[in-house]
Structure formats: structure tokens, C-alpha cells
Amino acid sequence: MITWVLYDIKNNSARSYVSKACKHAGLYRVQYSCFLGTLNANEKDSLELQINKVINEETDKVYLFRMNKEQLKECSMLGQAFDEKLVTDEVKALFF
């Protein structure tokens, strides 16, 4: 399923840990503190556990939203939007 991860984390090292964990899980950075990509239920749970370990529950906020492709299509994206095919794993080839 398509998963959005949004966060506000005060501590620098915790924040960079979370961003790395997101990239590791195969998510793409769409804004400074917003990641997006396709995760299955296990991958989502494991990411959640990793994030939970480092954040401060008193000060930090992290949201994980799940949606399917139909719901993503209903979203409005303005300006410099991300590549929809990339985050839904439909891109089969990347060129460098």
C-alpha cells in the first residue's frame, strides 16, 4: 500500500535516523520531512517500530498514513509534485 510518513522531530540525530530509516524502507523523499512510497504491512510495522524507538513522545510528531492507488488519484498535487509512477512502484527502469 502507498504510505505517507510525515514528521516533526526536534532532536537532530533522531530526525536524521528517521529519514534514513524511511529511505532504507524504500520510500522517496517528497518534502523535507515527508516521505512517500509503497510498503507492505510488514515493512510498515517494522518502520513504525524503528521510528518509535528514537522519537521523544513529549515533543515529536510522526504520522504514517496509508492509502491505495485510487485514493492517491483523488489527491490534488500542485506545483513541483512528485513522480506518481515512482512512488507506486510502477517505474521499471531508471536511467543514469
Whether the Cβ atoms of residue 8 and residue 26 lie closer than 8 Å to each other? no
Residues that bind another protein (CB under 8 A): 20, 23-26, 89-96
Whether the Cβ atoms of residue 69 and residue 2 lie closer than 8 Å to each other? yes
- Shortest approach of another protein to residue 34 CB, angstroms? 16
The edge-to-edge listing of strands for the beta sheet with 34-38 is: 28-31, 34-38, 2-8, 61-67
- Shortest approach of another protein to residue 76 CB, angstroms? 26
Nearer to another protein, 76 or 80 (CB): 80
Nearer to another protein, 49 or 61 (CB): 49
